[in-house]
Structure 1
């Protein structure tokens, strides 16, 4: 059903407004007249609804599956509205099914698929909609959908690989922190108290441990509260573009982390350019749309400057050379693509090379970071154990 807004005159001669649901505008007019009203005007409610703007109903995994299945169905010459009906009926989540039904209703009403997707900007971003529109214009919607699905899958796999690399170190840090906190706040005070009661002369390491333990016991709750307050302030600050850009800029200067962030964004942007340009979207428009995939505000600001240079007549490779994001090899490959006329192909190859470098950086970083982390945590626990054992050994020697 489609919602229509109307204005009419009732039997008393007063002007009134209302809404009516119908399959078409013709049926909507008949329903209004059936209410005994004289219709003045009627129009379909804007396809861009508030629900789609504020609520995200489709996650990345679901978007991948839906895009892949839609590509298969459209390549089999099945109309888009029928394909959406089939997908909405087989999806498990009701919210996804409702979203697909709304998109299908818009298409039945005469809207294109790209226009219908504008009702749900949080589920289908600017890039997605632009590519769909390009596919509709060129008559290659099935191929565009396949490329979109491939790109979403690559992005999903890259994200999973990065998360998997961080799982072990994060668990190790959390467990070590929990063990050390329990030792310092519960175990150590009880043990040390016995030595103090016996008025035994304690080694320097034990005295240091006592000081740390006393500090933790006295200010542990304050430390927790301070951490929470700092996190809240940072969360609120990240809503401000100026603060967000400052934090993102500082992250780029952190060893290894900055390098990883740059490679992720460089690969993401170049791959988007490759997909957009090969889909028939002009370079200038592709560069502007590509900005939407950049989540680091500092990098986005640099790329906006690059877009401005291209607008003024500079080549893509020249514009990228003015940023500190793309490696020299990437810029040289893009330059070669511009000279040979195979820019789209070269952009795709450049993105693949940056992805390979990203994976290599992650592997090397983790191979160094994990053993180093184990050594640091083991050293801390060893220090605590030795600091407790030393007074015991001294006591035994005195006996």
Structure 2
């Protein structure tokens, strides 16, 4: 079916643009009018240039976009719409052009005879392996709408968890930026003007004052160079973390840090359990679900151990025993998983374990943030105290010299 590019205004007067599939230009105009749009331009969609499919395959979707898309698809499929019509409806409702084009490309592959999971596999950066495997299981079982609804719940829960972490870190980051700005202003502008009086007096200055003057002069004279060195160091760190061996060493070191290590383990355990639960509920075989859930883990050290767990289960071992040997899953989660295996209710126990671990993770993040705030305040107060002492010590020395 040909596609037509359009520009129009909606009922609220807002400008919008997108793609509309129709049998002809006249049919396209009719469909757009039925949607309440006032057309300003309609033309045949330009033919895809060579490599356009590669550009589409590189499209990434945010957590909120993926959750909304999945929720809309599950609702339409539950309502009895065929898959191609549901994809077309979601594509037409989308206000973002790249998302509309992505769904149109998925729909065209479905119309060619591909399954939805196979169509999604052409866009690996937009739809993760977890997403594709769950959709494939839903298609095999004939309950695609129910599986998509579970995926939407999972995506929304993951987005809510990320938002909680981001909101918890907002205040410490603002405090850090404000502290650095205040210290930089004091060292760059206040200290030199105040201490200049004591330098002209000819009296010997305290060691702290001389050190503060040296730091201030260095910032004023070489501030641009220091900024360039800092940016270069950040770039070098980013490059190093892209190297698999160095990245693995960093992840191992991160797990051994006192506070951060516990938070990382709790975060990965919650992610692993919730992913395994959604795959199990979608009738994905346990070994395949373990391998997919391992790829969702971002820490390479834990990911390797979870892949070892998948191999041990494939060889006939139990899930609880394999997770216990890995040492990355908390004891309470291990007890729930073991009881779920014995009772034949592994999926529900995994979901319960993931929910419990999410609460534990939220408590640990709150503890870390509550410790960061006073530590940063004490450091900031100490630095300001040093600056004040560097200014006051010459004043006290001048008073003694005059007396």
> Normalising TM by the smaller chain, what interval?
0.7 to 0.9
Which of 265, 270, 280 pairs up with 2:268?
265
Q: CA deviation at 1:346?
A: 0.8
Residue aligning to 1:375: 378
Which of 309, 320, 339 pairs up with 2:342?
339
Q: CA deviation at 1:219?
A: 4.6
Q: CA deviation at 1:393?
A: 4.3
Residue aligning to 2:26: none
Q: Check if 1:90 corresponds to 2:93.
A: yes
TM-score, normalising length from structure 2? 0.83
Q: CA deviation at 1:394?
A: 4.2
Which of 301, 311, 315 pairs up with 1:308?
311
Q: CA deviation at 1:359?
A: 0.5
Q: Contact between 2:58 and 2:126, CA under 8 Å: does it hold in 1?
A: no
Residue aligning to 2:13: none
Deviations 1:168-218 (A, max 9, x none): 111111111122122212321222222111012334432332343344345
Mapped partners of 1:170, 1:162: distance in 2:
12
Q: Check if 1:55 corresponds to 2:59.
A: yes
Residue aligning to 1:6: none
* Structure 1 residues 181 and 174, CA gap change in structure 2 (3 angstroms): same
Q: CA deviation at 1:143?
A: 1.0
Mapped partners of 1:240, 1:203: distance in 2:
48
Residue aligning to 1:7: none
Q: CA deviation at 1:116?
A: 1.1
Q: How does 1:199-278 map to 2 (within 5 A)?
A: 199-217=202-220, 219-278=222-281
Mapped partners of 1:220, 1:253: distance in 2:
35
Q: Contact between 1:52 and 1:121, CA under 8 Å: does it hold in 2?
A: no
CA RMSD of aligned residues (A): 2.1
**Structure 1 stretches of at least 4 aligned residues deviating more than 4 Å after TM superposition:** none
Residue aligning to 2:193: 190
SS for the counterpart of 1:252 is helix
Q: Contact between 1:2 and 1:105, CA under 8 Å: does it hold in 2?
A: no
SS for the counterpart of 2:385 is helix
Residue aligning to 2:184: 181
Q: How many residues align?
A: 356
Mapped partners of 2:145, 2:334: distance in 1:
32
Using CA pairs below 8 Å that are at least 6 residues apart, which structure has the higher relative contact order? 2
Q: How does 1:273-292 map to 2 (within 5 A)?
A: 273-292=276-295
Q: Contact between 2:277 and 2:347, CA under 8 Å: does it hold in 1?
A: yes
Q: Gaps spanning 5+ residues in structure 2: where?
A: 4-21, 24-51
Mapped partners of 2:84, 2:199: distance in 1:
80
Q: Gaps spanning 5+ residues in structure 1: where?
A: 4-21, 24-47
Q: Point out the more displaced range, 204-213 or 140-149.
A: 204-213
